[in-house]
Amino acid sequence: MSGESSQRDTGFVYDAARLRIENGWNKPHNIYGKDDMQGFVCGWGAAVINTVVTFPVNKLMFRQQLHGMRLHKAFHQMQSEGLRHLYRGLLPPFLQKTFSLSLMFGLYDVYGKLLTHSFPNMQKPVVQAFAGIGAGFSEAILTPFERLQTLLQDHRYHNHFNNTFDAFKTVRTYGFAEYYRGVSVILIRNGLSNAVFFNMRGRIKDALPATDNQMGNFFEDFVSGAVLGALLSTLFFPLNVTKTAMQARLGGEFISPGKMFVIVYETRGRNWKKMFRGVHLSYSRAMISWGIINASYELLRTLLFPQSKED
């Protein structure tokens, strides 16, 4: 953001020129310059903080999504497996999340800068939407990490793989395409969720009471990320259930998202409520996760790249 952190929008004038200034995109020599690194660096740092904190909760939610079981049953299943398996599968999401969020924030800046310089009259929400979609699509290159995480967190494969690298080699024997099973769902989820996230996070913060201190800004960034995290995780929950079911398969037919959704829906007794089993934990986890990510990202920008806040 440009200027004092306490400054707020007095109207909804979303133009490309203003967006360039807010994001530090207003310097032509910076289109592909060193300043582009701030999004990548701060996104990576925010992901490190978030992944370590939220991994056990994500694993609990995963069990509910995959098997449609209740929270207490999933908890007791993980408890019976012991601490040895609690952080099993951490490496793939750690790598996937750190690279993914680095790409998400970094490429959003790159695409946004490119769009605002190529189309100076483009309205702000349009720039944010297309830059977010572009970043989301680019993130899909990391699908193999999400794929391995799904297999390693599924208790049915505990005795099938020795570790992450063993899983990587085993999946390779089924063909390279196995790494990208479920990528079509990921493209839809990433593109749409990023478009909403980057369009709304600033508006939500602007709707909160103004503050001129770092702690107040941190809290507002946390609230903005938390609200969007809860909203988006709930909206896209059935899509993630479908993606999880697709990626839990190893070998065999590549089933389309629509067909897999029907299979899961039938398996759960054509009960729409069961399709949302685990959603409470999902949006609770997303509130914390995206609150941490958004607040950490902005804090790291302030600490590591203070000049970007002053442009």
**Which residue in 267, 217, 233 sits closest to 68, CA to CA?**
267
- Domains of the chain (ranges; CATH) run 16-310 (1.50.40.10)
Structure tokens at 133: 């979609």
- Contact in structure between 28 and 117 (CB atoms under 8 Å): yes
CA distance 10 to 212: 17
Q: Choose between 175 and 63: higher pLDDT.
A: 175
Across-strand partners of 123? 15
Average pLDDT over residues 224-230: 98
**Which residue in 122, 113, 148, 141 sits closest to 250, CA to CA?**
148
Q: Identify the band that residue 159 occupies on the pLDDT scale cut at 50, 70 and 90.
A: confident
Please state, as a whole number, how many other Cβ atoms lie within 10 Å of the Cβ of residue 125: 16
Q: Choose between 155 and 271: higher pLDDT.
A: 271
- Strand locations in the chain (E): none
Structure tokens at 27: 């310097």
CA distance 257 to 309: 42
The predicted pLDDT at position 29 comes to 45
Average pLDDT over residues 20-45: 70
Length of the chain measured in residues? 311
**Which residue in 236, 16, 35, 228 sits closest to 130, CA to CA?**
16
**Burial class of residue 184 in the structure, from the number of CB atoms within 10 Å of its CB (0-12 exposed, 13-18 middle, 19+ buried):** middle
pLDDT digit string, tens, across residues 49-92: 998 878 888 788 777 877 777 888 888 888 888 877 787 778 87
Average pLDDT over residues 224-235: 97
CA distance 149 to 153: 6
Structure tokens at 301: 């920008």
pLDDT digit string, tens, across residues 234-278: 999 999 999 999 999 999 999 999 999 999 999 999 999 999 998
